[in-house]
Chain A
Amino acid sequence: MIIDSPNPALLRVDNLVKRYADNTAVDGVSFSVPEGCCFGLLGPNGAGKTTTIEIMEGILAPTAGTIRYRGEPLGERFRAEAGILFQKTALQDFLTVRQTLNLFRGLYDHGLPVEEVIRLCALEKLLQRDNRKLSGGQLQRLLLGVALVNDPSILFLDEPTTGLDPQARRNFWELVQSIKAQRKTMILTTHYMEEAELLCDEIVIVDHGKIIAQGAPQALLRQHFQAVLLELPAEDWTPAARALGLTFFEAAGRVELSTNDLEGTLRTLMQSAVSLAHLRIRPPNLEDLFLELTGKDLRA
């Protein structure tokens, strides 16, 4: 299935396959990324999303399938117009933040003035600091700056906030939202469903190298959940409640129930003398969808 969008596809992926000696990391993936869209590529560890994004970035060669950027195979134009923030990136040692930005700016014919990149990524106070002495959040801002020096038409962000503290993560989201406001096309992989829900206009969820869902986050939630979710502390989930025949999931000291009949379920629980003092009712979110589709068991 190719996502329909009023905007033309900037990047199109057709029947992408990547095989290694002992496994197939990507198994016939197809989708297109409309211009101006923030596109999320989600999946559990080992699902094939980093392999997919690295093929899309032109870093890895596919075993089969095609990637077309503006209707053409990836080439010089793509390298000049793409900005990439890898999952793990090292920079040259002994360079300051400004020198690093100058280095990468020097690799492109066209791009933003370095001063503008500094402003966009809030790097003003770090310009003379050695790359090696940046905190995790500061380094990600610099790497985002490096990805923006060529004023990219398409920006790849591969797990950009993994390992950041909540404050740095929110700070980074604000930066990405300001870039998104410029209608730049972005492709994002992340483990944080909150991040995907906040930033992405469209997502695909991959597992075992195949797409298992794709669409706009809210549309996917409507498609997969008609229910609301109830959460209770596990100690309130009495043996009598367990015998009610309700479908529930228990993890990390909490019990989670999904229901289409909120009033009826609440009535049943009260009749079974289940304490509702710590009950939490919430609509399903992308994390619920992710777990619903990829399973809740620990992967080997």
Chain B
Amino acid sequence: MSLFTDIRRSAKRLFAVWHARNLEFVRDRSSLIFTLGVPVALVVAMALIFGGPPRPLFKVGVLAPMPAAASYPFLGERYFQFVEQPQQAAAIHLVSRNDLDLLLDLRQRPARYWALEDSPKGYMAEKLLLQADPQAARQPIAGAPTRYIDWLFPGVLGMNLMFACLLGAGYVVVRYRKNGFLKRLSATPLSAFEFLAAQVLSRLGLALAVTLILYIGIGRVIHFHNAGSNALLLLVVVLGALSLIAFGLIVAAYFASEEVVGGLLNFLTWPMMLLSGIWFSLEGSPRWMQILAQLFPLTHVLQAVRAITLDGAGPAAIGVDLAYLAATTLVFLAVGAYSFRWRPE
């Protein structure tokens, strides 16, 4: 038999399997929608967030009232976003938290500014400011300013928590539904709520273990210091993990296809990645974006964790975040239990 014949037969077999798989994929409508829908939605989201004029590289607060750009040439610089700040103390706090790269006070001349010394973007913004206005005077930031890595670290932990919680429990439930194990369980006194709660608690242990390893491991490497209570930090992570797992289970409560659930979870994780404050602060972003971000459990996890670790906040200061996470856990579990299907439709 010639090599050409071998290749032709092999290609024929490959084509048969390729064709069948494509038919399966195209005919699984919900999977198709989510798989193709995610990139489309991502394009729309990116256009909304990053579209329009070039996105500024630096975020600079200006103490109110903000003067006209003509009166202070630096305000006309490209790639800078100037955000008016009504209160000086609050604005300095934003700089110390890396939410602003620099704060300007133009109510008196020479101008005064506040910036963090070890913030890369703060450093660059400061250099550009001094080039435009060599008279501007640096002001000290009271207390221990936040290192950029200390601001970023909770974001990294939060992102890991999101993936561990959202993706882990959902796929297992879908597999159980698909292979009929859920159908077997449905013939016992076990309720949907009990089943879902067991999945949440099982995943919680794993998510906490992974987060703890990262917290201790990376924390040591970067010499991370928690300014607040470790117990409170644990409470936030527990509530956040519960909320995120329950959120993932809503998606898994109904469908019997891993591909559909994968697409849906992908669809949900991207907005959270972009808007929950993992990588950058939403300070100065459009109002609708900030409101949307507040709907995500991860936003509240990161707000609370940063408040504890950076500002040493107590339970009262993060009460709203804790309440939101607890409430969403219960709501998500209730919705999941209501829409739960023991067997594929």
Which residues of A pack against B, CB within 8 Å?
A: 57-59, 76, 79-80, 82, 84, 86, 88-92, 104, 107-109, 146, 150
- Are the CB atoms of B187 and A84 closer together than 8 Å? yes
User: Is B294 in contact with chain A by the CB < 8 A criterion?
Assistant: no
Q: Given A89-B180, A90-B179, A90-B180 in contact, is the A57-B187 Cβ separation under 8 Å?
A: yes
Q: With CB as the reference atom, state the residue of chain A lying closest to B195.
A: A107
- Are the CB atoms of B343 and A59 closer together than 8 Å? yes
Report chain A residues within 8 Å CB of B185. 107
| Complex-state Cα separation, A89 to B343, whole angstroms | 12
Q: Which of A89, A90, A107, A146 contacts B189 (CB 8 A)?
A: A107
- Are the CB atoms of B187 and A90 closer together than 8 Å? no
26 contacts between A and B (CB under 8 A): A57-B187, A59-B186, A59-B187, A59-B342, A59-B343, A76-B189, A79-B187, A79-B188, A79-B189, A80-B189, A82-B187, A84-B184, A86-B183, A86-B184, A86-B187, A88-B180, A89-B180, A89-B181, A89-B183, A90-B181, A90-B184, A91-B181, A91-B184, A92-B181, A108-B188, A109-B189
User: Is B190 in contact with chain A by the CB < 8 A criterion?
Assistant: yes
- Are the CB atoms of A108 and B189 closer together than 8 Å? yes
CB distance from B198 to the nearest CB of A (A): 11
Report chain B residues within 8 Å CB of A57. 187
| Complex-state Cα separation, A92 to B184, whole angstroms | 10
CB distance from A55 to the nearest CB of B (A): 13
Report chain A residues within 8 Å CB of B180. 86, 88-90
| Complex-state Cα separation, A92 to B183, whole angstroms | 12
- Are the CB atoms of B184 and A107 closer together than 8 Å? no
CB distance from B38 to the nearest CB of A (A): 29
Report chain A residues within 8 Å CB of B176. 90, 92
Closest 10 CB pairs of A and B: A90-B179, A107-B188, A84-B187, A90-B181, A90-B180, A79-B189, A89-B184, A107-B190, A80-B189, A88-B180
Report chain B residues within 8 Å CB of A86. 180, 183-184, 187
CB distance from A139 to the nearest CB of B (A): 13
CB distance from A259 to the nearest CB of B (A): 48
Report chain B residues within 8 Å CB of A109. 189
Q: With CB as the reference atom, state the residue of chain A lying closest to B181.
A: A90
CB distance from B188 to the nearest CB of A (A): 4
Report chain A residues within 8 Å CB of B343. 59
Q: With CB as the reference atom, state the residue of chain B lying closest to A79.
A: B189
Mark out the residues of chain B between 325 and 343 whose CB falls within 8 Å of any chain A CB in the assembled complex.
342-343
Report chain B residues within 8 Å CB of A88. 180
CB distance from A89 to the nearest CB of B (A): 5
Report chain B residues within 8 Å CB of A150. 188
| Complex-state Cα separation, A104 to B342, whole angstroms | 16
Q: With CB as the reference atom, state the residue of chain B lying closest to A83.
A: B187
Report chain B residues within 8 Å CB of A108. 188-189
Q: With CB as the reference atom, state the residue of chain A lying closest to B343.
A: A59
| Complex-state Cα separation, A170 to B188, whole angstroms | 28
Mark out the residues of chain B between 148 and 196 whose CB falls within 8 Å of any chain A CB in the assembled complex.
176, 179-181, 183-190
CB distance from B273 to the nearest CB of A (A): 31
CB distance from B163 to the nearest CB of A (A): 22
Report chain B residues within 8 Å CB of A82. 187
| Complex-state Cα separation, A135 to B183, whole angstroms | 22
- Are the CB atoms of A104 and B181 closer together than 8 Å? no
CB distance from B93 to the nearest CB of A (A): 50
Report chain B residues within 8 Å CB of A90. 176, 179-181, 184
Report chain B residues within 8 Å CB of A84. 184, 187
Q: With CB as the reference atom, state the residue of chain B lying closest to A107.
A: B188
- Are the CB atoms of B179 and A58 closer together than 8 Å? no
List 9 other contacts, CB 8 Å, given A79-B187, A84-B184, A146-B184: A59-B186, A59-B187, A80-B189, A82-B187, A88-B180, A89-B181, A90-B176, A90-B180, A92-B181
| Complex-state Cα separation, A86 to B181, whole angstroms | 10
| Complex-state Cα separation, A91 to B180, whole angstroms | 8
CB distance from A107 to the nearest CB of B (A): 4
| Complex-state Cα separation, A108 to B176, whole angstroms | 20
CB distance from A140 to the nearest CB of B (A): 14
CB distance from A59 to the nearest CB of B (A): 6
Report chain B residues within 8 Å CB of A92. 176, 181
Report chain A residues within 8 Å CB of B188. 79, 104, 107-108, 150
| Complex-state Cα separation, A59 to B184, whole angstroms | 9
Q: With CB as the reference atom, state the residue of chain B lying closest to A109.
A: B189
CB distance from B343 to the nearest CB of A (A): 7
Q: With CB as the reference atom, state the residue of chain A lying closest to B178.
A: A90
Q: With CB as the reference atom, state the residue of chain B lying closest to A60.
A: B343
Mark out the residues of chain B between 75 and 104 whose CB falls within 8 Å of any chain A CB in the assembled complex.
none
